[in-house]
Chains A and B, each alone.
Chain A
Amino acid sequence: MRTPAERFPRLRELFHELVDLPAGEREARLAGLSPEDGDLAPSLRELLAAADAPEDPIAAALSGAGRELEPDPEAGGLIGRRIGPWEVVRWIGHGGMGRVFLARRADGAFDQEVALKLIRPGFASRQLLQRFRDERQVLASLAHPHIARLLDGGATEDGLPYLVMEHVEGATLEEHCAARGLSLDECVDLFLAVCAAVEHAHRNLVVHRDLKPGNILVTREGEPKLLDFGIAKLLGREAGDATLTQGAATLGTVTFASPEQLRGEAVTTANDVYSLGVILYRLLSGRHPYDLDDVPFPEAVRRVCESEPPPPSRAAAEAGDATAARVLRGDLDNVILLALCKSPAERYPSVAALAADLRAWRAGRPVAARQPTARYRAVKFVRRHRLGVAAAAVTLLSLVGGLGAAAWSARQARAEARRAELERARAEEVSGFLQGLLGATNSSAWGPRQGPYGAKVTVAEVLDAAARRLDRHAGQPAVAAPLRRALGASYAGIGLYAPAERELRLALALHRRVYGERSLETTRVWNDLGGALFLAGKHREAEPVLRRAVALYRGQAARRPAEETSALNALALIRAARGEPEEAERLLEDALALARRGGEEARPMVVLSIANLGQLHHFRGNLAAAETAYREALRLQTAEQRRGWEDAFLKGQLGNVVLLRGDLDEGERLLREAVRGFAGSSGERFRWSVAAHSGLASALWQRGDLAGAEAEARRTLEIMAAAAPSDSAGFVAPRGLVGSILVESGRAAEAEPLLREALAGAERSGNPFLHAAMQSALGECLLALGRRAEAAPLLRDGYRNLLATKGAENPYTRRAAERLARLDRQGAPH
């Protein structure tokens, strides 16, 4: 008999095999268990039966525990106890700050029930009491029929601070409106009463900071009451609230926090304007402005700080409330969205202004809130058109791509990028947007029909025109800043790096002025500029800029893994190109670790970082590590990458590695898939298909299909011819391949000129590996032509240099050794 531990692995195997089978098949399989598995049948049956049961014992035990967990075991001990002049009656609830109890005067001096908040240790400080005394005056000034009064403050015998507030019985604002079935107008009226209370507090210089539906109760008489006013101040949470950014925040807190609170910036009355906007949005549309359900925390923060909420009318329509959607559309949409602007300066200047607009709407008068301002639209536009990750990511791969040869030459990348596919649609959109934005202010000069847009203008011309127009309308830095950035990104997108650099440098100066050096916006421009310089091959200039971007990203309240890793990848490839693979690897590992922590948004960068690590291994001849990396990158691809060029690219790289390892079948399959995946691509990506075609040529060659191999190899030459000048380094390997196949086919005479061109190109590239490989290939050709004296030094040098650069185990080295052996067998002159 085996012990349970010994039997478990087999039991698990069988369970896995059977659990998803239909009952009939399962039974048949159980009946047919082999004798050595026979003793497992009863357990297996039991487990399978249990697996079919709908209960979940784990969830049951845990949810029971969750339900039962007392806020803390001592809570009950307080009931009936005296705290200061108050007697604790019962526990009411539990908030972020601590426990709340119903209490009454112990001396019966007056018969009023109050809410006593026992502040949890570590949350408030010993200064609370002092603050309460200091603020007594201010708190008294908060007396307002719609504000729950703060009555007392003190400390328990154990030194726990507490606050005593007017006890309000009622439903929350949202519950109240829903339960009473209030109309939109009635909801707005109730909300106006809330605004009046907040206005009153603001006039007395008290900001609530934590307004949310749960803090607004409506009494049975229909009067709203705001809870917790003045608490933030007492708790010393006034300036630069650290509690949110340093992580005491929960998802619940993020839901109602303003972008500036999440960014850890100064919080003013504009914060309450924002919170009121959220409350009104929810009240009228029935939805929260942002979809934060089941969203990881960093992503929730990002959405609140960056994404634009849909107009409430659309939210109401989606929620199925057509009436509300109709009423909201237009003015109310504008009012609410103005309150929800990301930047405090863009919102209503005060709660009073918000309330005035709402009253105007109630009276049927026009509201002040308009369609978003030019600046607002510019920022929003640019948010949709980031150069950032995607564009940089695309081109990073190309640097180390191909046959591992292109990595050497920055000149190369530049020459090829210049021929890159033009992103016409995008550039025109930028330009059209500029026209709409600026043309309106000066239409005589830039009317669309008289403008420089003929039928056949290039994208570059469109961008140039846009840039000139922007130069002329330099008035508003806040508008120009994001537009300069968009223009720079567009130029970079079509491979025009000089104007890209100019625009991005101007954008950088503007951003520093408008947003400040350390702002996220400015950081992003550093990153874009670094990316553009890198793509332009200006590695020396790119490096400090990218470093700066990384340092600034690291100083942000929230990390931006997707963006920061883009800069890290560029830095790594700069090091790789400079011949510092260890440093490159370290940077890529850093990028990978960071991207892995970045959630779904950073997943493309996880894939890219792994792919670049793979290429680094590939390039250094560590084929096993390269293979592992490519496979992992393939596995982790996002759905978009799987459909895009990445899949073809990775399969091409992997296919080549697998082929070098000697697995002809899998190699060929992968390479064919890669070639198929690249079909229909164009521009730079089209050029990357060279690696797949040349790998496929090698595979066919190994199968003995020399005609097929030659056709594939010649395909690589055609692709290069369409993509780069004939003297570029990218031609070396394709020419070498075609030449070698010709030699093998007994057509050495035809091969010689090709291989000589290849060798010359390799010399120019300064790549020792390519040079050595071409020496050996030409040597073989000359040997086949019987010119042994010419062949011998080439074969010997080629072998020696390959041995030095790639080691003895590299397939190229081995091939060179074979050729050399052939020479020796034929009795080479020494």
Chain B
Amino acid sequence: MAADSPELDRLLPEIYDELRRLAAAALRREQRGHTLQPTALVNEAYLRLARSPGLQILDRKQFLALTARVMRQVLVEHARARQRIKRGGSPLRVTLGDDLAASTPSYFDLLALDQALERLGRLSEQQVRIVELRYLAGLSVEEVAEVLAVSPTTVKRDTAMAKAWLMRELRGRGSDADAG
């Protein structure tokens, strides 16, 4: 998130807090739908912030990048919170019953994914941004291409590579451990 104006620095916390709140609300809402629909979040956030003085100086690229980043953080925080609760033996285990047992691994998947993305970020900032924009801000290939000012083909290929790289990371590092 490029914050290159003092004004932006000043307003960023405000926008950021609002985005966090919306992201958390969106996640709770989506709980029943079984999927994340980040596009709705982005749209909602945009509408909400459209008239705040902060957004006037954020361009669309910055806005989308910020939203995707916040979404990722909120997800990870939720996952961490859940992990803590489970370790602490909260009554949740009882009330959620089978559902919880069946799908336990996904939290760890998410945290692992976050860490893998961190590692990927050291190799290719662009690939991480593409992943965030596509999966967490819900943008299409063409939209990501526009935001990052690269060709759609590049976006597609970088997505494929990030996916492949992450898959390898998440399955335990491959034979050629230092390759990535």
Residues of A within 8 A of B (CB): 3-5, 7-8, 11-12, 15-16, 19-20, 40, 42-43, 46-51, 53, 55-73, 76-77, 79, 91, 93-94, 96, 246-252, 294, 296-298, 559, 593, 596-597
Contact = CB atoms under 8 A, between A and B. Distances in A.
Nearest to A73: B85
B163 A68 contact: no
B161 A19 contact: yes
Contacts of A94: 28-29, 31-32
Contacts of A69: 27-28, 30-31, 78, 82
B82 A68 contact: yes
B47 to A, nearest CB: 4
A247 B60 CA distance: 18
Given A4-B179, A16-B157, A70 B92 contact: yes
A8 B167 contact: no
A433 B114 CA distance: 61
A11 B166 CA distance: 15
B53 interface: no
A47 B167 CA distance: 9
12 contacts: A5-B122, A7-B179, A19-B157, A46-B168, A51-B161, A57-B109, A58-B135, A61-B109, A65-B75, A65-B79, A91-B95, A250-B44
Given A47-B161, A64-B106, 14 more contacts: A12-B161, A42-B175, A46-B175, A47-B168, A61-B109, A62-B110, A65-B75, A66-B35, A67-B31, A67-B34, A73-B81, A247-B44, A251-B44, A297-B40
A73 B174 CA distance: 36
B180 A4 contact: yes
B3 interface: no
A597 B92 CA distance: 43
Interface string B80-116: 0110010000111011100000010111011011000
Contacts of A20: 157
Interface residues of B, number: 67
B32 A4 contact: no
B179 A46 contact: yes
A186 to B, nearest CB: 30
Nearest to B157: A16
Contacts of A250: 26, 29, 40, 44
Given A59-B135, A65-B107, A76-B90, A16 B161 contact: yes
Contacts of B168: 46-47, 50
Main SS of the interface on chain A?
A: helix
Contact of A297 (B44, B60, B158, B174): B44
Contacts of B35: 63, 66-67
Nearest to B18: A247
B4 interface: no
Nearest to B119: A4
A559 B103 CA distance: 43
B24 to A, nearest CB: 9
A67 B96 CA distance: 13
Given A77-B91, A249-B44, A16 B154 contact: yes
A613 to B, nearest CB: 15
Contact of A247 (B33, B47, B113, B131): B47
Interface string B15-29: 000000000001111
A43 B48 CA distance: 45
A250 B26 CA distance: 9
Contact of B106 (A8, A65, A77): A65
Main SS of the interface on chain B?
A: helix
A642 to B, nearest CB: 15
B36 A62 contact: yes
A49 to B, nearest CB: 8
Given A46-B176, A46-B179, A67 B106 contact: yes
Contacts of B136: 62
B96 A57 contact: no
Contact of B43 (A8, A60, A67, A297): A297
Contact of A66 (B30, B113, B175): B30
Nearest to A52: B164
Contact of A63 (B34, B46, B50): B34
Interface string B106-139: 1101101100000000111000000100011000
Nearest to A636: B146
A350 B30 CA distance: 36
A683 B79 CA distance: 64
A7 B177 CA distance: 13
Contact of A4 (B109, B112, B123): B123
B110 A8 contact: no
B59 interface: yes
Listed from nearest, the 4 A-B pairs whose CB atoms lie closest are A64-B106, A43-B179, A247-B48, A297-B43
B31 A5 contact: no
A275 to B, nearest CB: 21
A70 B162 CA distance: 29
Nearest to B138: A294
Interface string B54-67: 00000110000000
A16 B157 CA distance: 6
Contacts of B106: 60-61, 64-65, 67-68
A76 B95 contact: yes
Given A64-B109, A297-B43, A50 B164 contact: yes
B93 to A, nearest CB: 9
